[in-house]
Structure 1
Amino acid sequence: MEKNQIHIPREVIVVEGRDDSKRLMEVFGPKVKLIETGGSAINAATLERIKQAAEQFGVIVFTDPDVQGQRIRQIITQNVPTAKQAYLSRQDARGKSYVGSLGVEHASKESILKALEELATPASENLQRELSTQELMQLGLTNHPLAGVRRKAVAERFHLGHVNAKQLQKQLALYQVDYAELFEFIEELNHKSE
């Protein structure tokens, strides 16, 4: 492979709409495999196409970092639990010419490639228990002046997407991040801020 050649994902990438597809084709070329959901009202036929794609190639969910994108991601994940997840930060989804909307279509080539390199893959079985609210409080991820900043750092480090405290509990269990691993990361954060 040439130095500047970009690896096209084997999986089918599920995006929200035409502009997202257009952007990914600009990055990867016409051979990239895509399915558009057509927005948050995913119909049964689209879900069936996603299921078939998951069986044949695997799928990567790559939606916008907003409420609509999260809703689509949840619907797909409920129907295809093995779907890999690619996340853009809200900042990366604004792009250079931010005009008020967040989206894959606004992201730079580098941000898109990074998101697709740092895929979050759900565990095939839910072996990890959900951390308790008390444990999240002990780590300063809830009921703490820096809770939002810490949750954002945790979400970025473990590739969990934009999460609130409740979503964080579920995402940590889904992607098998345990208390010890989380504690170690929070300690690193604390040392950096001293």
Structure 2
Amino acid sequence: MIKEIIVVEGKDDTTAIRRAVEAETIETGGSAINREIYGKIELAQQRRGVIIFTDPDHAGERLRKLISERIPGCKHAFLTQEEASYKGDIGVENASPDLIRKALANVRTEQERSEAEIQWEDLIAAGLIVHPQAAQRRLEMGKWLGIGYANGKQFHKRCQMFQITKIEFNAALAQFDKRGS
């Protein structure tokens, strides 16, 4: 059983999580999260810890950000849009049990950091911003680093928040470049 409580968007997500692992969830009911749900998540974070596992779409990322800003120290599990897609629908509920287990095995923890290792210039040099294929490159690098897809500014924030080291970053970049993308 997973110790932390997993925060998901809806009932179908809970069903998918429970097909993959033994865990308890808190359902936000979508992106319109209310004070009562925030209270449950705060209590869960204090008592057992929280893993935020939202859909890899705009609404899911917005919800992840809202919860993270209000409740510090959460862990994060990520799926790619490709892993969470079925017939044009994107959501955790569409991922296979194996992909859900993989995402939960690779959770990342938010941490405060006084000085970030990955600088804006590192993203430019890696072609993750100000590059014709920057969005595709961030998508692939997000997979390698386990931090999901984000725009340039959010990608930089995630590198800081999850304390991605230059060693991790360069190893992922080498793997990415080796594939010829």
TM-score (normalizing by structure 2): 0.91
- Counterpart among 16, 34, 40 of residue 49 in structure 1: 40
Aligned-pair CA distance for 1:141: 1.1
CA distance 1:104–1:189, change in 2 (3 Å):
closer
Does the CA contact (< 8 Å) of 2:117 and 2:163 recur in 1?
Answer: no
Q: State the Cα deviation string for residues 151-173 of structure 1 (Å, max 9, x = none).
A: 12221122111211111110000
Structure 1 stretches of 5 or more lacking a match? Answer: 1-7
Bigger-Rg structure (1/2)? 1
Q: Given that residues 127 and 134 in structure 2 are in contact (C-alpha distance below 8 angstroms), is that contact kept between their aligned partners in structure 1?
A: yes
Structure-1 separation of matches of 2:127 and 2:159: 15
Amino acid corresponding to residue 27 of structure 1 in structure 2: A
Percent sequence identity is 36
Provide the C-alpha distance between the structure 1 equivalents of 2:91 and 2:55, rounded to a whole number of angstroms: 5
Q: 1:156 aligns with which of 123, 128, 143?
A: 143
Task: Find the counterpart in structure 1 of residue 134 from structure 2.
Answer: 147
Aligned length: 181
Match of residue 109, structure 2, among 121, 129, 140: 121
Equivalent residue number for residue 4 of structure 1: none
Partner-residue secondary structure (3-state), 1:64: coil
Counterpart in 2 of 1:100? 88
Aligned to 2:27: 36
Q: Kindly indicate whether the alpha-carbon contact (under 8 Å) linking 2:52 and 2:76 is maintained by their aligned counterparts in 1.
A: yes
Counterpart mapping for 1:9-88 below 5 A = 9-28=2-21, 32-88=23-79
Cα RMSD of the aligned pairs, angstroms, is 1.9
Corresponding position of 1:110:
98
Q: Per the alignment, in what secondary structure is the counterpart of residue 193 of structure 1? A: coil
The residue identity in structure 1 corresponding to 2:75 is K
Helix, strand or coil at the partner of 1:187: helix
Deviations 1:22-69 (A, max 9, x none): 22222335xx21100011111011001000001111010010000110
Q: Against the structure 1 CA distance between its residues 40 and 130, is the aligned structure 2 distance closer, same or farther, given a 3 Å change threshold?
A: farther
Which residue in the other structure is 1:5 paired with? none
Deviation for aligned residue 1:71: 0.9
Which residue of structure 2 lines up, in the alignment, with residue 137 of structure 1?
124
Contact kept, 8 Å, 1:128 with 1:178, in 2: the verdict is no
Question: Structure 2 residue aligned with 1:178, among 145, 165, 176?
Answer: 165
Give the C-alpha shift of residue 132 in structure 1: 4.1
After superposition, the Cα gap between the structure-2 partners of 1:34 and 1:179, relative to the gap in structure 1 and judged at 3 Å, is same
Q: What TM-score do the two structures reach when normalised by structure 1?
A: 0.85
> What letter is aligned with 1:56?
R
